[in-house]
Amino acid sequence: MARITIKGHEFNQLMIRDSYDRRAVLFTNNIVEILKKIGVVDDDIDISSQKVARLKGDAFASWYFDGQYMYFSYKLSNKYIDNLYIVSKVIELEVKSLLNEEITADEFIRHFYEDKDIEKMRKEARELLGVEEGCLDLELINKNYKILAKQHHPDAGGEMEMFKKINHAHKMLKRELS
């Protein structure tokens, strides 16, 4: 079984071959139950859903913890169900680390804190870096970033504000895809 590493956690990649929709419900319920362990209430949890779980699709979960908006998404797998499994597993491992006092609440917040408009901001970042809206190729993003950063670097006569925007866009997409 293949192992994957996401947000510093290594775990087995689940090979789902049947009962996609039923498993999507199980993963969704798992996320809710895990977040309840740290005091998050049902009304503060939003989890992506898709009518047919075996099709391509992004998965995300958002919730409020300690007054902060938390968000985690995954979209690198070919099926929504695989993406949802990874979201569920990462949240499970992070909550376990928090409950076992391996990380602090502040570290937990740093791992998941996002702006509510993060998806819009990621779209704009991709536009700024000159890649397609759904681009998940970190090598292409890095390549375009290096070209634009070199062109707009203040030492090369570029504008500091544009250089900062390019750096911010790259950091945002790098965080998403790492």
Instruction: Supply the pLDDT for residue 46.
Output: 96
Contacts of residue 89, Cβ cutoff 8 Å, sequence gap at least 6: 6, 9, 11
- Tens of pLDDT, residue by residue over 24-63, are 999 999 999 999 999 999 999 999 999 999 999 999 999 9
- What is the Cα 11 distance to its own chain's centre? 17
Three-class HEC string of 41-53: CHHHEEECCCCCC
Mean pLDDT, residues 123-136: 91
- What is the distance between the alpha carbons of residues 58 and 49, in angstroms, rounded to a whole number? 9
* 132 phi, psi to nearest 5 deg: -65, 155
**125 residue type, one letter:** A
Q: What is the pTM of this model?
A: 0.80
Higher pLDDT, 72 or 17: 72
- What is the Cα 95 distance to its own chain's centre? 16
Domains of the chain, first to last: 3-112 (no CATH), 118-177 (1.10.287.110)
Pull the structure tokens for residue 165: 């925007």
> For tokens 């499970």, what's the residue?
92
Mean pLDDT, residues 150-160: 91
Instruction: Supply the pLDDT for residue 151.
Output: 92
